[in-house]
Structure 1
Amino acid sequence: MSANNLFSHVAIDNYFQLFHLPEQPYGDWYINTIVIGLSTAISSVFVGALAAYAFSRLRFAGRRVGLLALILLQMFPQILSIVAIYLLLTNIGYIVPALGIDSQLALICVYLGGALGTNTYLMYGFFNTVPKEIDEAAKIDGAGHARIFFTIILPLVTPILAVIALLSFIGTVSEYAVASTVLVAPQKQTLAVGLYAFVSQQFSQNWGLFSAGAVLAAVPVVIFFLFL
């Protein structure tokens, strides 16, 4: 086949076929990915902002050690803890099935814990750029930490919140190793795990379906990016 004939035939059959595969529920993967991605992004922003505010504005025992621990934890990639995560979720599942293996809630908690260090440290640096005199003026007017955090600090640090939300969403949508370990049932899997099934088998590789699914998988990321 010559290079001129490589893209001579254009069709959209793969896009329609994606949603009519009984063994590969692409629609379920799509919904699962959006739900897990948005839940992780929102939770990461909220929890990370709370921790960053505490490190930036409060003075407590262990503060410097905590900041140093956040830096050191980022030296180890999350993939090194896959075995520990699997064993931990297996044992927790005996007590709380909703947080065991094959649970999307458990996967969200794993993502949230893995991203907390990086998100907190990034927000901590941005929070330090907000003058503390604003906090002091609010305290004189009778505002507590909760009011200062929600009504004054958060609106001033909106850019870093958008960045953290976007990075968390993209990282969750494209993550494969942890998701393939935690999620077992086909209808509970994410797009990254499900799409791999189209090209994982040696004699049944379907790059057409894989490419069509990958293009559709990029749509939520683009929309989320433009929205932020």
Structure 2
Amino acid sequence: MTDAATRGRSSTGGPAPVIPKRPFKFDRWFRETGWRHIVGVVMVVFALFPIVFVVSSSLNPQGTLTGSNALFSRIGLDSYVRILTDPQVPFSQWFLNTIVIASITAVGTVFLGALAAYSFSRMRFTGRRFGLITIVVVQMFPQMLAVVAIFLLMSTVADWFPAIGLNTQIGLIIVYLGGALGVNTFLMYGFFNTIPASIDEAAKIDGAGHARIFFTIILRLAAPILAVVALISFIFTVNEFVVASVMLIDTEKQTVAVGLTKLVSNPRYADWSAFSAGAVMTALPVVALFLWLQKYIVGGLTAGAVK
């Protein structure tokens, strides 16, 4: 007998019993799943409100925060035109500097962190455990505590090597690489431990060395965590202000985070509308990169979290 013939019949040959549907009760639904929807909506509104306020302020032609209290009460592109065409505000140069510094820092952080994580994960040497503990302990101290030391160090370096000293973008990239290397190394170390060591052993039997295993096998398998580290490093570099304001002195070398503060540094003549417009345009590359790498984010953050 076919499935169509037996459909609607029980095992005894009679009609299948119809299970009555329970009536909808709001209190039961709220206890089981309803409260989750409410919490989710509240969190979404809480996260979107600052973004909506900044976008509304960027579209306000008056350039003040007082006129932005009523969201989208006035809409215009004057602030975007003003920040892109004002010769005293080289926003295009700031934006280009930020993208270049953030991109080089992200690539360098991923490469150096992957090398260090592979060494800690696959090699056994004296001081390995002490090195891992040191990485974690050093990252507990805020980077702001080292601003004075960074300024004095880079000033001294500038006397011997002006190309990588104070007021140079290369020097700023080197500082960013040193600050982000520890936590990213530890993050990638946990992911590398989830990759079976039998893959390395099989490659070694075929005659592959550590360099070939790392570049042809490990990096491909570790693509999720590499994407996550690159994204985190890129976002941090774009948003960082303290170290960049200390390192970069010349206006044409500064990043967006440092340059935009000049628009609101004077309370009497603060152009908050242009400041918001610059913030919105700076956020676009970050959002685009996030959407491009979003398929790796969940896997890269959760893998290696448990053993």
Q: Is the 8 A contact 1:53 1:124 kept in 2?
A: yes
Q: Which residue of 1 aligns with 2:91?
A: 26
Task: Describe the SS at the equivalent of 1:9.
Answer: coil
- Give the one of 194, 199, 220 matched to 1:155: 220
Q: Write the distance in 1 (CA, Å) between the matches of 2:246 and 2:165.
A: 12
Q: Which residue of 1 aligns with 2:6?
A: none
Task: Describe the SS at the equivalent of 2:194.
Answer: coil
Q: Cα distance, 1:152 vs. partner?
A: 0.6
Q: Is the 8 A contact 1:24 1:186 kept in 2?
A: no
Q: Map 1:1-228 to 2 at 5 A.
A: 7-228=72-293
Q: Which moved more, 1:200-209 or 1:48-57?
A: 200-209
Residues 61-85 of structure 1: per-residue CA shift (max 9 Å, x gap): 1101100100100110111000000
User: Measured at CA, do residues 4 and 129 of structure 1 come closer, stay the same or move farther in structure 2, by a change above 3 Å?
Assistant: closer
TM-score normalised over the length of structure 1: 0.97
Structure 1 residue runs of 5 or longer lacking an equivalent are none
Q: Write the distance in 1 (CA, Å) between the matches of 2:74 and 2:181.
A: 47
Q: Write the distance in 2 (CA, Å) between the matches of 1:185 and 1:221.
A: 25
Q: Cα distance, 1:20 vs. partner?
A: 1.7
Of structures 1 and 2, the one with the larger relative CO (CA 8 A, separation 6+) is: 1
Matched residue type, 1:169: F
Matched residue type, 2:97: N
Alignment length (residue pairs): 228
User: Measured at CA, do residues 137 and 185 of structure 1 come closer, stay the same or move farther in structure 2, by a change above 3 Å?
Assistant: same
Q: Cα distance, 1:8 vs. partner?
A: 2.9
Which has the larger Rg? 2
Task: Tell me how large the CA RMSD over aligned residues is.
Answer: 1.5
Q: Write the distance in 2 (CA, Å) between the matches of 1:216 and 1:20.
A: 14
Matched residue type, 1:98: A
Q: Cα distance, 1:27 vs. partner?
A: 0.4
Structure 2 residue runs of 5 or longer lacking an equivalent are 1-65, 294-307
Q: Write the distance in 2 (CA, Å) between the matches of 1:185 and 1:127.
A: 42
Q: Is the 8 A contact 1:56 1:124 kept in 2?
A: yes
Q: Write the distance in 2 (CA, Å) between the matches of 1:139 and 1:4.
A: 65
Task: Give the percent of matched residue pairs that are identical in Structure 1 and Structure 2.
Answer: 58
Q: Cα distance, 1:100 vs. partner?
A: 1.1
